[in-house]
Amino acid sequence: MNKLYTCISFSLSVFLLFQCDNRSKINKRDIEGAQKLIGVEFSNREIDTMLNYLNDNRKGYDSMRKIQLDYGVGPAIYFDPKPDYFQWHTRNTPSDWKLPDSVSLPASDEGIAFLTVADLSLLIRTGKLTSARLTKIYLNRLKKYNDTLHAVITITEELAMKQAEKADEEIKLGIYRGPLHGIPYGIKDLFAVPGYKTTWGAEPYKEQMLDEKAIVVKKLENAGAVLVAKLSSGALARGDVWFGGKTRNPWDLEQGASGSSAGSASATAAGLVGFSIGTETLGSIISPSTRCGVTGLRPTFGSVSRAGAMSLSWSMDKVGPICRSALDCALVFNVIKGTDLVNKNDRAVVDYFFSFSPPADLKGFKIGYFKKLFDKDTTKTGTNNLQSLVLLKELGADLHEAALPDTLPYDVFDIILRAEAGAFFDKLVRDHKDREMSEQNKDSRANSLRQSRFISAVEYLLANRHRKVLIEKFNSMMKQYDFVVSPTAGKNQSLATNLTGHPAIAIPNGFDKKGHPTSITLIGNLYDEGPILEAAYIIQKATDHDEKHPGRFLQRGGNR
């Protein structure tokens, strides 16, 4: 009986092993079904000939997946946004930062909290305000309003106070590192900071500790800036929902802050930090800056190192400042741009000269504007964008009609981002850890990562070939102008410029009928952020939109 049982058990095991092996092999029916996913069709004979190849591919995938890669390892291909025969816009003139000569110290902590970096830097440099006091103001506000805004993942209080005290000591000794010295800031929680969790805003990484310091954090530390908080990111850099809830718009707590640099924009708008750092792959600096009524700079692809940060798309990710003014964005960008000269961890980074020296008006600029987009954009912003065009002319702008390249397959370009994200989060999906994420709807990051497994490499490369055509056409249009003006939400504008790598800045230009902030976007030439920052500065000098703040976060209510 035991022999019979053993024999039956052995036979069953062999049968099951054979069945499992058969199920793991790719058969004709698998290919017939897969053809529908990519829109091709092969004959039965052709399918027969490819079975061995496809099964060999699977073996290769399995062997590759046994080796775990460090999160900082990118592919052995690098995106270059430069068109053929690219000519650099060189501006070797020294900067004139237009820093204030005199600033009065506000009587209240709330008044201090909403000052610009430029104003705060003068108060700190002249000893009217210490970095320690300013840091405590922001730490208190972070604690007070976090339950309201859900904009903070980690408050770095111990580190912040050490950095603030060091800044005060250095300044007393006459060691002044520049306008960011002693200024508290927050950074999107995609960046690694030793001793603190780096959660990427998602449940599977809530406890993640990365023992390295992001290059942007190093550069800001060397400039004397004070890190007070790691701010919320939509889960894995999508939207404004993270494992702690939905980050709120300070102007309307019923509304999300937009994504995915939601915490950076929300905290800056509410006066919880002096400035913040965000990232953008497809609108994640510009969109939340618009929603929260602050100024957001998305620099040229490759201008700021991403080393030490989560990757979403190796060929599209960018790092930039979110501030309360264009001048502040220029000051921060000047510090964070360029390579890490020691390690050069991010090989996409390019060093180039940056100058900020705004003239009195816009008479010296040749400016394009996307007329068709402005003509269509009246529902969300009302007359705000049209009034911005009128203002540009009043400031002396020479405006010319421009247009986005047409006859391009804009509908396919998003697969570039999704395919690269799927590769970075390969193990997360294979281990089904994506199921731990709170959002599981069709628009969620979890779903986006799952579907990415069905994007073919051929289509990914073909989409990049069309991207090359977009780059050539867009640069051919852009080189005629110092910059181009666009409605922030203009159709395909964000998609096109994120694919081509061009810099852009969103600046507040009023409010809609519901009292929500609106913005206008200035798009610059590659590696030439100066003109859009200077123009934004001139515009903000002529308006007060950037000086308005959400009333509930001010001591006496109302706008400043």
What's the per-residue H, E or C state across 141-177? Answer: HHHHHHHHHCCEEEECHHHHHHHHHHHHHHHHCCCCC
Of 333, 338, 364, the closest CA to residue 349 belongs to 338
Cβ atoms of residues 185 and 276 within 8 Å: yes
CA 384 to each of CA 14, 387, 401, 519, 542: distance values in angstroms, whole numbers, following the listed order: 73, 5, 19, 8, 15
CA angle 378, 380, 385 (to 5 degrees): 55
- Where are the alpha helices (H) located in 395-492, listed in sequence order? 414-424, 426-430, 445-452, 457-478
Residue 338 DSSP symbol: B
- Which residues are CB-contacts of 263 (< 8 A; sequence separation ≥ 6)? 151, 152, 153, 186, 188, 189, 231, 232, 233, 247, 257, 276
Report the percent of the chain where pLDDT is more than 90: 89
- Report the alpha-carbon distance of residue 216 to residue 200 in Å, rounded: 16
CA 208 to each of CA 70, 311, 326: distance values in angstroms, whole numbers, following the listed order: 13, 15, 34
Residue 83 DSSP symbol: P
**Hey, what are 177's tokens?**
């590192």
Cβ atoms of residues 369 and 389 within 8 Å: yes
pLDDT score, position 340: 76
pTM of the model: 0.93
Of 86, 168, 178, 105, the closest CA to residue 132 belongs to 168
Residue 337 DSSP symbol: B
- At 85 the three-state DSSP class reads coil
Average pLDDT across the chain, whole number: 93
Phi-psi region of 382 (alpha: psi -120 to 50; beta: other; left: phi over 0): left
CA quadruple 267, 436, 193, 528: dihedral sign: negative
- Which residues are CB-contacts of 77 (< 8 A; sequence separation ≥ 6)? none
Per-residue pLDDT for the chain (560 aa), expressed as one digit of tens each?
Answer: 444 333 434 343 443 333 444 457 999 999 999 999 889 999 999 999 999 999 999 999 999 999 999 999 999 998 999 999 999 987 788 999 999 999 999 999 999 999 999 999 999 999 999 999 999 999 999 999 999 999 999 999 999 999 999 999 999 999 999 999 999 999 999 999 999 999 999 999 999 999 999 999 999 999 999 999 999 999 999 999 999 999 999 999 999 999 999 999 999 999 999 999 999 999 999 999 999 999 999 999 999 999 999 999 999 999 999 999 999 999 999 999 998 766 677 989 999 999 999 999 999 999 999 999 999 876 566 699 999 999 999 999 999 999 999 999 999 999 999 999 999 999 999 999 999 999 999 999 999 999 999 999 999 999 999 999 999 999 999 999 999 999 999 999 999 999 999 999 999 999 999 999 999 999 999 999 999 999 999 999 999 999 999 999 996 543 44
- Report the alpha-carbon distance of residue 521 to residue 519 in Å, rounded: 7
- Report the alpha-carbon distance of residue 55 to residue 27 in Å, rounded: 9
Burial class (CB within 10 angstroms; exposed 0-12, middle 13-18, buried 19+) of 292: buried
SS3 of the chain: helix, strand, coil, percent, to 5: 45, 15, 45
CA 336 to each of CA 180, 216, 243, 415: distance values in angstroms, whole numbers, following the listed order: 11, 6, 29, 30
What's the per-residue H, E or C state across 440-462? Answer: CCCCCHHHHHHHHCCCCHHHHHH
- Report the alpha-carbon distance of residue 235 to residue 312 in Å, rounded: 11
List, for residues 488-513, the tens digit of each pLDDT value. Answer: 999 999 999 999 999 999 999 999 99
Query: Across-strand partners of 484?
Result: 368, 523
Cβ atoms of residues 225 and 185 within 8 Å: yes
pLDDT score, position 12: 39
- Report the alpha-carbon distance of residue 184 to residue 163 in Å, rounded: 9
Cβ atoms of residues 186 and 276 within 8 Å: yes
CATH topology of domain 109-409+455-551: Amidase signature (AS) enzymes (3.90.1300)
At 518, phi and psi to the nearest 5? Answer: -125, 170
Domain edges within the chain: 17-65, 109-409+455-551
- Which residues are CB-contacts of 133 (< 8 A; sequence separation ≥ 6)? none
